[in-house]
Structure 1
Amino acid sequence: MRAIRVHRYGESDVLQLETVAPPEPQPNEVLIRVQAAGVNPFDWKIRSGMVKEVLPMPLPYTPGMDVAGIVEAVGTDVKAFQVGQSVYGELKMGAYAEFATASPDTIALKPRTLDFVQAASVPMVSMTAYQALFNHGDLKPGQTVLIHAASGGVGMFAVQFAKWRGAYVIGTASAANADFVRSLGANQVIDYRATPFEQVAQNVDVVLDTLGGDTQTRSYAVLKPGGILISTSAPPDTQEAQRRGVRAKMISMEASASLLEQIASLIDSGQVKTDIAQTFPLSQARQAQELSQKGHVRGKIVLQMSALGSALSQ
């Protein structure tokens, strides 16, 4: 099979398209013929070595965690899936390839209303948004939530989930993406380039911070007493939070087949949608990660296996 391989940490040029043997499913694994793979900021952060202290990778490795495809084979202990089914979900690694193995605990049947490219855009960001808002933020109907980078991958799902739950939703986005964020259900959109968000958002119950840095620091001021800041990007200053009478925590997503099933149901019922920023063939994985690394991407970037090129573009 063809797969992207990383032999050393570095810039995007370490992504190499190679021909390798397909993985063999273990007794409790599913072999997926990959149709599309989502591209997440976490992918290039791992590749660059930025997170190697907390998540060292055995080199060489195949990147990619978001996957959508067709079940090619199942291990002897797998009962939940059958050959030929269309699935989507989260891998530990290896989605940038024509075949990949997955745990049955982290995949589910693909949403019926999505194609493979759309489905590959969903798993990591949607589960992150859901768990941040509800498992950690305990967002309730009638509460107010501020979602930073509301047009990004996590942000676009967070806006929709919060609206579905009955919250009042404030999102930050550029002016160019304001209408998009409103279309997702945001009650209020703040153009972060024109207006400091803390001048508009006040008495917020939950802040979802996907940016860190100065945005995170300024976010404490908008929380009501007892409110909570949930970060997916950088550890918050818990001492500052305590000084202000609020809470703050950083989370990491935990993949769940049952949550993927619930999200698929919300998608198929028309209550949640995804948005594709750009699709690349596997041969252009470098360009895909470079686009992700620039930031300010609306929606998700996806690699499509059926659009394979003959060589990795220089």
Structure 2
Amino acid sequence: MKAVLLPAYGDDSQLKYEETDIPEYGHNEVLIRIRATSINPIDYKMRSGAAKGRFPVEFPGILGRDLAGEVEAAGSDVSGFPKGMRVMALANGTYAEYAVAKAGVLSPIPEALDFPHAAALPLVTLTGAQLIERAVKPEANQTILVTGALGGVGRTAVHVARKHGTRVLAGVRASQRAEAQALGAEAVVALDDEQEIAKLHELDAIADTVGGTTIERLLKSIRSGGVLGSVLGVPEGAKKYDIRVEAFTAQPDASRLYELAEDVARGEFSIPIAYQLPLSRVQVGHRMAEAGGAGGKIILIP
């Protein structure tokens, strides 16, 4: 099969589109013919070595977390996944024509979604949902600020928080204000406007997808006993405040992924796609993703 191999940490030139062996699958695993995958920030952080403390790569490695494709074969203990079934998952090693995943992480793809749109979902939607449901754990009528609300994780967090009956503030850059109005949040806050930040008081929680100096400036806006949920670790300044900090890493959840994909299929929220590229152009995709400003997910088609 063709796959993108990473022989060592480095820039995008380290990504090699080459021939390699189809992976073997175990008795409780499924071999998937990948029809689409996507690029996430963790991919280029793993490639560069920036994330090696949390996610070390065993070289030569195959990156990629989002899987959308068709069942090719299944192990002896697997049932319910016939050959040709369309499936998606938060998995590993998806920059390839084939990948192996445990049956328990696989979800069917809703009929209304094609492979590219399904491939845009697993990591960002599960991260966004778990940011709200497992980290923030909101109660109805609480006020939650979601930072980076126009990213894939942020869009999902806004959607999930609204479904839990909370008052959601969408935090974006001032230049994104008009676009963010379509998210359905109670209000839009420009996080690069000090006057708007100064008006934030007694927030019950912040669901943070941005990190850095932005969240450091926002910590004082959380009420005593409030919550900071973060996908980027614990901010240095958080220890100065009487708040609960919940930093986490997303985990596969097949049933929740299917529910979120159904919400997307019904038009309740969306994860925009900016570009679709052949897997062989993965270096270009990584450069575009790292540069930022693509306006949506970059999909890779094996």
TM band (smaller chain): over 0.9
Give the secondary-structure state (helix, strand or coil) at the position aligned to 1:124: helix
Matches within 5 A, 1:65-76: 65-76=65-76
1:167 Cα deviation (Å)? 1.6
Give the stretch that moved more between structures: 130-139 or 295-304. 295-304
- CA distance 1:34–1:197, change in 2 (3 Å): farther
Q: Does 1:303 align with 2:300?
A: yes
1:196 Cα deviation (Å)? 5.2
CA shift digits 1:60-105 (9 cap, x unpaired): 01110101011111111111311111111111x2111111111112
Give the stretch that moved more between structures: 259-268 or 103-112. 259-268
- CA distance 1:242–1:195, change in 2 (3 Å): closer
Give the stretch that moved more between structures: 292-301 or 82-91. 292-301
1:107 Cα deviation (Å)? 1.7
What one-letter code is carried by the residue in structure 1 that aligns with 2:128? Answer: A
Contact kept, 8 Å, 2:180 with 2:188, in 1: the verdict is yes
Q: State the alpha-carbon separation in 2 of the partners of residues 222 and 192 from structure 1.
A: 12
Structure 1 residues without counterparts, runs of 5 or longer? 306-314
Contact kept, 8 Å, 2:118 with 2:261, in 1: the verdict is no
Structure-2 residue corresponding to 1:21 = 21
1:264 Cα deviation (Å)? 2.6
Give the stretch that moved more between structures: 281-290 or 296-305. 296-305
Q: Does 1:283 align with 2:280?
A: yes
Q: State the alpha-carbon separation in 2 of the partners of residues 82 and 181 from structure 1.
A: 41
Structure-2 residue corresponding to 1:59 = 59
Q: State the alpha-carbon separation in 1 of the partners of residues 122 and 133 from structure 2.
A: 16
Contact kept, 8 Å, 1:198 with 1:221, in 2: the verdict is no
Structure-1 residue corresponding to 2:252 = 255
1:146 Cα deviation (Å)? 0.8
Q: State the alpha-carbon separation in 2 of the partners of residues 255 and 246 from structure 1.
A: 28
Give the stretch that moved more between structures: 247-256 or 6-15. 247-256
Give the stretch that moved more between structures: 249-258 or 190-199. 190-199
Matches within 5 A, 1:1-314: 1-91=1-91, 93-195=92-194, 197-237=196-236, 240-241=237-238, 243-305=240-302
Contact kept, 8 Å, 2:212 with 2:235, in 1: the verdict is no
What one-letter code is carried by the residue in structure 2 that aligns with 1:276? Answer: I
What one-letter code is carried by the residue in structure 2 that aligns with 1:9? Answer: Y
What one-letter code is carried by the residue in structure 2 that aligns with 1:49? Answer: G
Structure 2 residues without counterparts, runs of 5 or longer? none
Q: State the alpha-carbon separation in 1 of the partners of residues 191 and 230 from structure 2.
A: 18
CA shift digits 1:170-195 (9 cap, x unpaired): 11223443233221212212233344
What one-letter code is carried by the residue in structure 2 that aligns with 1:211? Answer: V
Give the TM-score, by structure 1 length. Answer: 0.91
Q: State the alpha-carbon separation in 1 of the partners of residues 196 and 48 from structure 2.
A: 31
- CA distance 1:252–1:197, change in 2 (3 Å): farther
CA shift digits 1:192-224 (9 cap, x unpaired): 334455223322111111222111211211111
Contact kept, 8 Å, 1:32 with 1:99, in 2: the verdict is yes
Give the secondary-structure state (helix, strand or coil) at the position aligned to 1:290: helix
Contact kept, 8 Å, 1:67 with 1:88, in 2: the verdict is yes
Q: State the alpha-carbon separation in 1 of the partners of residues 280 and 215 from structure 2.
A: 36
Q: State the alpha-carbon separation in 1 of the partners of residues 168 and 229 from structure 2.
A: 15
Contact kept, 8 Å, 2:155 with 2:269, in 1: the verdict is no
What one-letter code is carried by the residue in structure 1 that aligns with 2:141? Answer: G
Give the stretch that moved more between structures: 220-229 or 178-187. 178-187
Give the stretch that moved more between structures: 261-270 or 20-29. 261-270
Give the secondary-structure state (helix, strand or coil) at the position aligned to 1:183: helix
What one-letter code is carried by the residue in structure 2 that aligns with 1:191? Answer: A
1:242 Cα deviation (Å)? 5.1
Q: What percent of counterpart residues are identical?
A: 33
